[in-house]
Amino acid sequence: MKQAKVLSEAELKRVLSVIANQRHAARNRIAVMLSFYAGMRVGEIAHLKVGDVFDGDGRVKDQIVLLAHYTKTAEARTVFVNGKLRRELERFLSSGPTSRRDAPFLVTQKNTAFSANTLCQLFGQIYALAGIDGASSHSGRRWFITSLAHSGVSAKVIMTLAGHRHLSTTQRYIEVNDQMMRAAVEVL
């Protein structure tokens, strides 16, 4: 099975530009940002509740705890919110999601929770509109893991952040190209 494309910075900017012109721009942008900046799977994003992301005072939490039934491995894990993701979440909050803590974090145009499949289709539509071949709902997750690996983050830390049980799974996510290999040998 062919792996999802890892987007370049220019391609990610193109995706965000396409999203900016969509009817549900704020919702679609935060869905993509959770994939890219938190490495979350679409099923995990679809399961999120408002109270998972925002505290009782409406502030972005430092950590998002993904409950076991949210994850593919049926094991709870913690997603750490970095500065970029925090700004994105604050921006989304200002667009007015519900204050009910048990409400779905992202809702469809029919005001119902997304299913993983529906959110996956939304990602596919966004990438198609941006003209990016080979991208899928897993592209953000691969970008997240690849970016961490190329920033020198320990493989064990990446594995844990991704919620993988085996290092070999994490290694399959990491994209390698000629530019990266050239840069690697230049450190010697």
| pLDDT tens across the length of the chain (188 residues) | 678 899 999 999 999 999 999 999 999 999 999 999 999 999 999 999 999 999 988 899 999 999 999 999 899 999 999 999 999 999 998 887 666 889 999 999 998 999 999 999 999 999 999 999 999 999 999 999 999 998 889 999 999 998 888 888 888 888 887 777 888 888 88
Report the predicted TM-score, pTM, of the whole model to 2 decimal places. 0.90
| 37, amino acid identity | Y
Task: Please check whether residue 55 lies inside any domain of the structure.
Answer: yes
Co-location of 166 and 115 in the same domain = no
Distance of CA 110 to the CA centre of its chain: 23
- Its domain, for residue 155, covers 141-186
- H or E stretch at 18: helix 9-20
Q: What are phi and psi of 89, to 5 degrees?
A: -65, -40
Co-location of 87 and 17 in the same domain = yes
Closest-CA residue to 27 (of 88, 87, 85, 101): 88
Task: Please check whether residue 112 lies inside any domain of the structure.
Answer: yes
Co-location of 57 and 101 in the same domain = yes
Report the sign of the C-alpha dihedral through residues 72, 50, 129, 140, in that order: negative
